Amino acid sequence: MMQIDRLYEAVAEKGPVCVGLDTDISYLPEGFADSALTAGENIVRYNRALIDATQGVAGCYKVQIAYYEALGLDGLRAYRDTLRILAEKNLVAIADIKRGDIAKTAEMYAKAHMDGEFEADFVTLAPYMGLDSLTPYTKYMQEKGKGVFVLCRTSNAGAKDFEYEKLADGRHVYDLVGDKVSEMGRAYMGAHGYSSMGLVIGGTHIEEAKEIRAKYRDSFFLIPGYGAQGGKAEDIAQYLWKGNGGTVNSSRGILLAYKKQPGVAFDEAAYNECVDMKGAIADACAKL
């Protein structure tokens, strides 16, 4: 099965919440870490507990590699082991690696993250060196059903430095990216009408939300920005299509939910946050 179909079906069954496992060692509750274990091993323990608690109410999981690279080899082992937990549980895993190189280098990135020890179902990519920075990944899309999410219009304030710049024909740079990736992605369509080449569309800028959703009907969206970055359910809902067609990431909001729920265990607090997030988005979608 193509991973984009697995993701669509997971969202249909469990909702659009994407749990961001951007786990810093400082996020672990006081007293949780075992002094006999490394930082990476303790992070894996924490991730496993969160995954166990939330797997029934999360459509997928996103693992941001930078948090693991920062710990060196210990962290990379934790990254690998976290992806293995997700694979063993048959949960959809997005590797947030944001690679953007070309030629043999891109081939090696694709091999590293779509096969072998760091294998994930999806990866995030930066397209600004051109479409040939994406083509090395298509082999794995064809042969293994993998998927990619390409940075298009992101959630950070700096998105307006480049992505919002106007072209001679009146389009924004993000329109150019979305148009070209959408066109390229038509060769990799899943059974539910979405391409294996999805788009990263930030949920914090809502002015053109309806236009973007209508324009890229065949593109599944990875939507960052909910919660800690300021994205609200009523904003996010505009990027979904009947509650699907996208997955909404929250990282710190879920990882640190226990800090806003005094007396509640961290894994239970994460579950509660996912349920609340899922409900809020569903309510907002119902009002559209």
Q: Which of 153, 243, 238 is nearest to 202 (CA)?
A: 153
**Cα dihedral 132/137/139/142 (nearest 10):** -120
Q: Where are the alpha helices (DSSP H) in the chain?
A: 3-14, 39-54, 66-69, 72-88, 103-114, 138-144, 159-162, 173-185, 209-215, 233-236, 252-255, 266-286
Cβ count near 222 (within 10 Å): 27
Residues 6 or more apart in contact with residue 83 via CB below 8 angstroms: 63, 93, 95, 118, 119, 120
Q: Which residues are catalytically annotated? A: 98
Q: How many residues does the chain have?
A: 288
Look at residue 122 and give its three-state secondary structure.
strand
Phi/psi for 72 (5° steps) reads: 70, -145
Amino acid identity of residue 2, one-letter, is M
